[in-house]
Chain A
């Protein structure tokens, strides 16, 4: 029996932006809504849901949805499924839009108009935004918007998402009451699917009448592609780009990181000086400030990494990189499409796993999800940065490279090699591994990324990270502080206070598991909250060491010199190896559960990563000890 679904959604008219992938839809959305947007998920699926609000000059308040890009209303991925469900009025958590704006790429009407015809058949009030009109003009494509409107029987406005003037025309159209009226003559058939052949002829006819049937060469994009897709230079360029990206993460972030570090240090001292000794002071200084501050310091690095990913994505380079890597990925049984989710996973596995939704093939998608956590996410950066800073000397090698940067590059590489190894095994030991699976990936024309889109993208990511610092990480820091400071040590204690606490006892039990791989009980304690979010391991270490220190002087010391003194190099290297494969945070496992629809895959994932991490750390530790670094 089907349960009735009660639909609850905010009041007010709903406007939906629909369009092919790469038509500049999101840029238009950013232009319309500015910063008045929120990113969430659609109910039941983790398709990114972008909703914004804006008011028209006449005072009309609108909700506006940026629907996932689709080539047709015949969905072949979960992303496209969402777009279809909303347009057909079948979405669980959203009403049918009151007005649909079809965003079309003016440089590519041939393909984009097909979706317009399909949407028009739905019988919803509909208008066309002829986007990227400036680029079309610079290529010599002049489109008569009025003639196109007459051919389609729909209002058409020219827009340039990166300029204000084009948007005004669109806003004016939205403000026209007639635009919201359902087309009377069109019968809503709901059958958007079986019109392909007819649509091709219809579009051909329209283009011929508008004098747009000639194929205009993409001179600039083609010229860039001669270099980017060059058999020898292309892969070389890709390597250089990725290498620069990782060097920049360390070099550029140094100054803002120092600033945040000294600011949290000053705040801790200030609080320490003005508060009476007691549990509250301990909570604030050792739990809250040391815990959250130790993670906040990595915000600059995360932003730099996302900056590069956003620029590469906006410019159109990412699909080219996927093309170049398709062969390599094919060798381990994946397609080039898996590259984009995996690259996103370098920032965080969660958006990476969510980006796997664009992979139509279910097997490719599952394998990509399973190996995505092996990509070094930015949450591991704090751990890497701490250990590299403490144990690897800052030295130049050959006058070109920095040793610390090279080690970091090596760690990233180890994660990639690990992922490839797992995928290779899956290819050879599963029946589906050897089939040929589809690619069909668009290589959009190159665009100069716009500052506004990059800024909005960065702001959204920073907000997500800060929210994590403010909620999960803060809560865990406080919980760990409690575990690490209760029960209180007896007055005649010989050992440091933490050894009497719950955390100390837990760490000592866990140390039995971790001792063979060279971890002391402090590390074992820190790994427990590290399961909730990896970067918490650093703040946990800060808390553990701040509380186990005998004097205030020792507390004041930064964490890095403390561990450099107390751990052997072998232990540090083993911990690095552990974190390459480390079982992912709980949020990732929750995402995997949601994406795969059950507990099987997240449990399999946790088990296999745990085993890999333990084995890798064991090998690293014992090799290092044998080489005399114990």
Chain B
């Protein structure tokens, strides 16, 4: 479970800055299309996974290049906006597991 202070640092992935190490806290249903959260899960966005914003397209900063786990995906800002993240601190080694457990609904 993320601590309250971590919840304060929670942002959506489209707001992250390039090169920042992040952890996924949850994938929210998109107001645009109901399937997006399921699809994002299938390509590797699930609570506890490590993500990083690699690049933004110019002009407009959309789409984004995102490293998720060991893969790289191009996502629209609207897609990245469904993904909540917190900074990944190196000391929080066990956090990953906690978040994964939370995400499973266990």
Contact = CB atoms under 8 A, between A and B. Distances in A.
B63 A326 contact: yes
Interface string B73-93: 111101100000000000000
A438 B103 contact: no
Size category of the B interface is: 35 or more
A182 interface: no
Interface stretch (A193-201, A297-305, A550-558): A193-201
Contact of B79 (A111, A440, A445): A440
B2 interface: no
Interface stretch (A5-13, A70-78, A377-385): A70-78
A197 B104 CA distance: 5
Interface of B: 32-33, 35-36, 38-44, 46, 48-50, 54-55, 57-60, 62-63, 65, 67, 69-76, 78-79, 96-97, 100-101, 103-105
A216 B103 contact: no
A443 interface: yes
A71 B43 contact: yes
Interface residues of A, number: 45
A62 interface: no
Contact of B46 (A196, A225, A323): A196
A111 B69 contact: yes
A439 B69 contact: no
B74 A443 contact: yes
B32 A436 contact: yes
Contact of B70 (A71, A74, A110, A336): A110
A405 interface: no
A419 to B, nearest CB: 21
B69 A204 contact: no
**Nearest 6 pairs of A and B residues by beta carbon:** A231-B58, A197-B104, A108-B70, A110-B69, A443-B72, A72-B42
Given A74-B42, A197-B103, A327-B60, A438 B76 contact: yes
Interface of A: 71-72, 74, 76, 107-111, 114, 196-198, 200-201, 204, 215-216, 218, 221-222, 225, 229, 231-232, 319, 322-324, 326-327, 330, 336, 360, 435-445
B77 to A, nearest CB: 9
Contacts of A110: 44, 69-71
Given A200-B104, A201-B104, A336 B74 contact: yes
B57 A327 contact: yes
Contacts of B59: 327
Contacts of B36: 438
B104 A435 contact: no
A198 B69 CA distance: 17
Contacts of B54: 222, 225
Contacts of A437: 33
B74 A439 contact: yes
Contacts of A218: 67, 70, 72
Contacts of A322: 74
Given A110-B69, A204-B100, A225-B55, A439 B60 contact: no
Contacts of B67: 218
A369 B66 CA distance: 29
A19 to B, nearest CB: 14
Given A108-B71, A110-B70, A327-B59, A196 B65 contact: no
Contact of A436 (B40, B41, B76): B76
Nearest to A200: B46
A300 B55 CA distance: 39
B78 A436 contact: yes
Most buried by B among A109, A221, A229: A229
B74 A438 contact: no
Nearest to B55: A229
6 contacts: A108-B70, A111-B43, A114-B42, A231-B57, A323-B65, A442-B43
A484 B105 CA distance: 76
A422 B54 CA distance: 34
A201 B60 CA distance: 37
Given A71-B42, A198-B104, A323-B57, A441 B73 contact: yes
Contacts of A439: 63, 74-76, 79
A481 B68 CA distance: 61
Given A200-B104, A326-B62, A444-B72, 20 more contacts: A74-B42, A76-B35, A108-B70, A196-B38, A197-B103, A197-B104, A215-B50, A216-B70, A221-B72, A319-B74, A326-B74, A327-B57, A360-B39, A437-B33, A439-B63, A439-B76, A440-B43, A440-B74, A443-B72, A443-B74
